[in-house]
Structure 1
Amino acid sequence: MTISLHDIDGEHSLTLDAGGLAADAAVVAAGHEPNGYFWEGLVRFAWPDLAERLDFDSEAGMFCAVGDSSDLARLKTAVESVITSPEAVHDIIARAQSSGFAFDD
């Protein structure tokens, strides 16, 4: 699977390999690049309360969130439902754009 929880020396992280996801076509159709920075923006917009408790270390090929293991487990469940659904991604992007949110991809 492309999304994974990690525990290395007591530091908890969640990573997502960007690219090759079912939702990529919806991201591209909306004029965005389906990279780690895009997914970080989507998380910040779609789950702001959760995102504010996390640190991010994303890059072009990978989304990465660092934080409490229970928060990351909740985020994993939420993100898994979105990366497999172009319709869900399209909906989140449309809501983000109408609210003036700017993705940094």
Structure 2
Amino acid sequence: MTIHLHDFDGEHSLTLDAGGLAADAAVVAAGHEPNGYFWEGLARFAWPDIAQHVDFDSEAGMFCAVGSSSDLARLKTAVESVITSPEAVRDIIARAEASGFEFDD
């Protein structure tokens, strides 16, 4: 799995290497780039209750969230449920676009 929880000197982070994911084709088909910024936007839209408690530091090649270990564990479970499911990603993208949400990818 390309998603990892890290603990370095008391700072907790969650990273996901962008690219090579099962859901990438669905992201591209929807007109987006499956990079770290896209996954950050998806997390902000799909799980706002978690996203409001973490800080994001994503890059083109990597999604990154920093926060408490409990919030990041919840986010990891949520993200893992969609990166392997093109159908789930298509559904989130459709709901996001219908609501006027804009991905910054």
Using structure 1 for the length normalisation, give the TM-score. 0.99
Matches of 2:56 and 2:66, distance apart in 1: 6
Gap runs ≥5 in structure 2:
none
Matches of 1:16 and 1:10, distance apart in 2: 20
2:8 maps to 8
1:42 maps to 42
Count of residue correspondences: 105
Q: Which amino acid aligns with 2:74?
A: R
- Computed over aligned residues only, the root mean square deviation of the Cα atoms, in angstroms, reads 0.3
Matches of 2:70 and 2:49, distance apart in 1: 14
Secondary structure, aligned partner of 1:37: helix
Matches of 1:50 and 1:75, distance apart in 2: 7
Identity of aligned residues (%): 89
1:94 maps to 94
Instruction: State the Cα distance separating 1:54 from its structure 2 match.
Output: 0.4
Secondary structure, aligned partner of 1:15: strand
5 Å-filtered alignment, 1:78-93, equals 78-93=78-93
Gap runs ≥5 in structure 1:
none
Matches of 1:56 and 1:81, distance apart in 2: 19
Matches of 2:76 and 2:45, distance apart in 1: 15
Structure 1 consecutive aligned stretches of length 4 or more whose deviation exceeds 2 Å:
none
Matches of 1:79 and 1:48, distance apart in 2: 13
Matches of 2:77 and 2:42, distance apart in 1: 14
2:55 maps to 55
